[in-house]
Structure formats: C-alpha cells, structure tokens
Amino acid sequence: MAALVDVLTVGIALHYFHLKLAEPLPEGGIGFRGWEAVFVFALAAFYWIGPEWALTATLGKYLMGLRVLSINGEDCSFLQSLKRNILRFLIDSQLFYLVGFAIAMTNPRRQRLGDKWAKTIVVTAATAPQMRNQSSGV
C-alpha cells in the first residue's frame, strides 16, 4: 500500500510537470527534452531518495507506519537510500513490484534486492526505536 501511495504521488507530480513543461517533439507527440527531462527525472528520483535518507520514510511509508533503517538499526544513509532506489527502478519495480515482492518473500528479513545491496530493512515505526536502541547499545 505504501508503494501505491508513493507511485500515485509521483504520478500526479509528473502529470503536473508534463502539463507545464512538456513541448511538442519533432517525431510527434509532446514530452520533455534537455534540462526539463533531467529536472523531471531528478525530481522523481529524489521523491524516494531524499525522504528515506532525511526522514527514514517516504510519504507512503510514513502513512503506513513504516521506516527504512540500516540493518544495524541506524537511520538510512544517503548512499544506502540511493542504492536501494537504483535497484527499485531497475529490478524491484518490474511487473508492478511483483519482482521485488517475490524476492522479499524468499528471505527472513523480507528485503528487496535493493535492500540487500544497500544493507537496509523496512520496519514498522513501532519497531524502529527498538532497533536504534540495539545499535547504540542501550
């Protein structure tokens, strides 16, 4: 459900920017070229990377009571968020996230391939403080 909220949020934002920034293309239709394309792609990518790094959750994860942490219980770093989201776009989101779901179901921590590479885990908001306390030795 968190992924659905996030995809809808990004989709609405992309639709808005498409209406405001898209221009006619020589091959027909309308779309983005040059810096507009880079801006829109960067904005979409930052939607997942920025909040997971700064707040440990995207809007969808926050609303569903989920947080992204390092497997040692610390907050997700920028590099970890970048890694997990690179593989989200390339592999885990394929076939409407069925690839990521199938991979997550094959391991006890329920990690997608991106989580395994980034050494992150998605936990409930209630579990996050306990994991942080374990990492700090409290």
Percentage of the chain lying above the pLDDT 70 cut: 97
State the pLDDT at residue 127.
92
CA-wise closest residue to 2 among 94, 92, 67: 67
Contact between residue 95 and residue 102 where contact means Cβ atoms under 8 Å apart? no
- Residue 137 is predicted with a pLDDT of 65
Give 42-64 pLDDT, tens digit per residue: 999 999 999 999 999 999 999 99
Domain extents for the chain? 2-136
The structure's pTM equals 0.84
Q: Greater confidence, 133 or 9?
A: 9
